[in-house]
């Protein structure tokens, strides 16, 4: 396990950890950042508004909708798996389910009763093309039908990097504003996610990292 700090652009850059062995990277941004998916259309993104609030705008190289990284509001983990690992699966739809099971088990151990992996296919919503937590992908973790862990995946010949965001606080108002989404999106997006802090008292980022790493397959 390694820890890295930096800008969102640098942490999402070309030089992701090379998955020549199992590795967990705990990534922490220097400040707030709005991270767009690799193919996401920026549309009405308020770049000037983000700059005025001191929010970096970056783009990751894995798919899905946007994530707002805010200090203290989430835990960001990159889980690397080499292609020759026994856990590797050529099927992209199945490939992250082992990780989802470990993530759910780790959150249950912390006290998040009812945390479970989404085992079905991708379930989009009217806003999931813009907001990551508004849809459900295989291997993501839900509590009370609301997403608490979002994932995306970046694959290469060497292996895969699963990028994981565990929400400690789910407060998407700023995200909705910066993306320029209509008023009706606010309630829908707010109801799609949930923060771990609503489920577990006095949860710390370090506790989440320890619980998830302990639940990973040996």
CATH number at residue 194: 3.30.930.10
Mean pLDDT taken over the chain: 94
pTM for the predicted model, two decimal places = 0.95
Summarize the confidence of residues 84-102 as an average pLDDT: 94
Summarize the confidence of residues 170-181 as an average pLDDT: 97
Q: Integer distance in angstroms from the first to the last C-alpha of the chain?
A: 13
Residue 171: the pLDDT is 97
Using 50, 70 and 90 to split pLDDT, how confident is the model at 157? confident
Residue 15: the pLDDT is 67
Rounded Cα–Cα distance for residues 74 and 86 (Å): 30
Which tokens belong to 139? 């291997």
Is the predicted pLDDT of residue 21 greater than 90, yes or no? no
Is the predicted pLDDT of residue 193 greater than 80, yes or no? yes
Number of domains in the chain: 1
Which tokens belong to 32? 């707030």
Percent of the chain with pLDDT over 90: 88
Which tokens belong to 146? 């609301």
What confidence tens digit (pLDDT) does each residue in 118-134 have?
999 999 999 999 999 99
Residue 55 lies in domain: 2-215
Q: Which of 201, 196, 171 is nearest to 186 (CA)?
A: 171
Using 50, 70 and 90 to split pLDDT, how confident is the model at 75? very high
């Amino acid at each position: 396990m390694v820890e890295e700090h930096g800008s969102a652009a640098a942490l999402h850059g070309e030089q992701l950890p090379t998955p020549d062995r199992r590795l967990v990277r705990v990534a922490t941004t220097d400040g707030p950042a709005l991270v767009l998916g690799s193919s996401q259309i920026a549309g009405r993104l308020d770049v000037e508004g983000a700059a005025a609030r001191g929010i970096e705008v970056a783009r990751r190289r894995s798919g899905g909708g946007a994530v707002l990284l805010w200090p203290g509001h989430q835990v960001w983990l990159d889980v690397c798996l080499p292609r020759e690992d026994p856990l590797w699966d050529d099927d992209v739809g199945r490939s992250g389910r082992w990780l989802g099971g470990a993530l759910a088990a780790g959150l249950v151990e912390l006290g998040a009763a009812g945390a479970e992996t989404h085992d079905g296919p991708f379930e989009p919503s009217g806003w999931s093309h813009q907001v990551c937590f508004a849809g459900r992908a295989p291997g993501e973790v839900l509590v009370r039908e609301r997403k608490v862990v979002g994932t995306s995946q970046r694959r290469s010949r060497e292996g895969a990097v699963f990028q994981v965001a565990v929400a400690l606080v789910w407060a998407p108002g700023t995200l909705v504003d910066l993306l320029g989404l209509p008023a009706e999106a606010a309630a829908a997006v707010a109801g799609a996610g949930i923060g771990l802090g609503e489920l577990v008292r006095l949860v710390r980022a370090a506790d989440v990292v320890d619980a998830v790493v302990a639940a990973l397959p040996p």
